[in-house]
Amino acid sequence: MKIFITGATSGFGKAIAEKFAKAGAELWISGRRTDRLEEIKSSLLQLGARQVNASEMDVRDKQAVQKVADELKETWGSIDLLVNNAGLALGMGGIDEGNLDDWDTMIDTNVKGLAYVTRAIAPIMRQQKSGHIINIGSTAGKLAYQNGNVYCATKFAVDALTQSTRIDLLPYNIKVTSINPGMAETEFSLVRFKGDMDKAGKVYEGYLPLTAEDIADTVYYCATLPPHVCINDLTITCTQQANSIYKLSN
């Protein structure tokens, strides 16, 4: 299986790459941190990946995205799975006091970046009349919460993009899936609170949250179903969480 994963330098993306590496997949990983990419590339080969290519790429840069997609097509000629994982949350304030730069970064990464990558890779799948696109969404894209405003809006957009992509690519035998995690202990909150470890740690106090490996297992399951089976939409939370608002603490 030939797999392209965005945002593969940490969290879900890294765990997904490791899961498929153990299954002997051919991987193409991308991210913004070159040093991490090289370290992860080496570890993926040790885990059993058949081949690993690594590209420094910011999904917000449409020229860079297209360049990597062209390299992928020239090198591989085909692709089985695209995992649109790159995304982030920044800050947590009311709509009346939000940081405009944070808003731009979230919109450019979570929405436009996902669209750029899909636009660059989908023609390869359309030509081969097969493939699978998995978009990593969020429970925040199912139910908005206080002070989530623009982040929630970007994840609602991911949900809409996934639905419309599934429709657009239906004639070409291409699967499209949205996986929407709830609370998961990764670097997500550390990024959201800009390195404040105390704030990030309090998000998970009293909970047994999901792990990156839980999401990797879910992605692997969806990607290895029989050819005639497509999970369109899947929401996954820890047992103590019902949705983005209702949680049961210890």
The CATH class for the domain spanning 2-236 reads alpha beta
pLDDT digits (tens, 9 = 90+) for 149-180: 999 999 999 999 999 999 999 999 999 999 99
Give percent of the chain above pLDDT 90. 81
151 labelled catalytic:
yes
pLDDT for the residue 198: 73
From 151, 204, 207, 246, the catalytic residue:
151
Answer yes or no: are the C-beta atoms of 104 and 121 closer than 8 Å: no
CA distance 90 to 93: 10
pLDDT digits (tens, 9 = 90+) for 27-52: 999 998 888 899 999 999 999 999 99
Q: What is the pTM of this model?
A: 0.94
pLDDT digits (tens, 9 = 90+) for 211-237: 999 999 999 999 999 999 999 999 999
> What mean pLDDT is predicted for residues 40-67?
96
Question: CB within 8 A of 22, min separation 6: which ones?
Answer: 47, 48
Answer yes or no: are the C-beta atoms of 9 and 30 closer than 8 Å: no
For every residue of 150-193, which 3-state class applies, written as one string?
HHHHHHHHHHHHHHHHHHHCHHHCEEEEEEEECCECCCHHHHHC
Give percent of the chain above pLDDT 70. 94
pLDDT for the residue 189: 65
Average predicted confidence (pLDDT) for the chain? 93
